[in-house]
Amino acid sequence: MTIEQAQQQVDAWIKTVGVRYFNELTNLGILMEETGELARLMVRKYGEQSFKESDNGKELADEMADVLWVLLCLANQTDVNLTEALQKNFEKKNIRDAERHKNNEKL
């Protein structure tokens, strides 16, 4: 599935099953919530915090997909073509960071 197809499929789902989009600020709040859930699981899996009973059954892939879902919703709502945006972002990084990381002695 391409990013464009994902945006289209989310849009179709929202307009049929989901009835309508939540407004942009609500979706921004949901994005923060979903990002927090991903962070919580990452900290437990790769960080120093221990798992709790409420973490059982949670999977990184599912949490990442939740974040992506809401980001796709926001892109649709704000008329952002994420394929084009990502391509432009690569161009920006290739210019700005062409030598930056190679010359970083910390890496």
Domains of the chain: 3-96 (1.10.287.1080)
> Over the stretch 20-49, which tens digit does the pLDDT of each residue have?
999 999 999 999 999 999 999 999 999 999
Q: In sequence order, which residues have a C-beta less than 8 Å from that of residue 90 and are 6 or more positions away?
A: none
Q: Torsion over CA of 72, 80, 87 and 70, rounded to 10 degrees?
A: -10
Selection from 59, 81, 67 nearest residue 36 by Cα = 67
pTM here is 0.90
Could you read off the pLDDT of 69-103 as tens digits, one per residue? Answer: 999 999 999 999 999 999 999 999 999 988 888 88
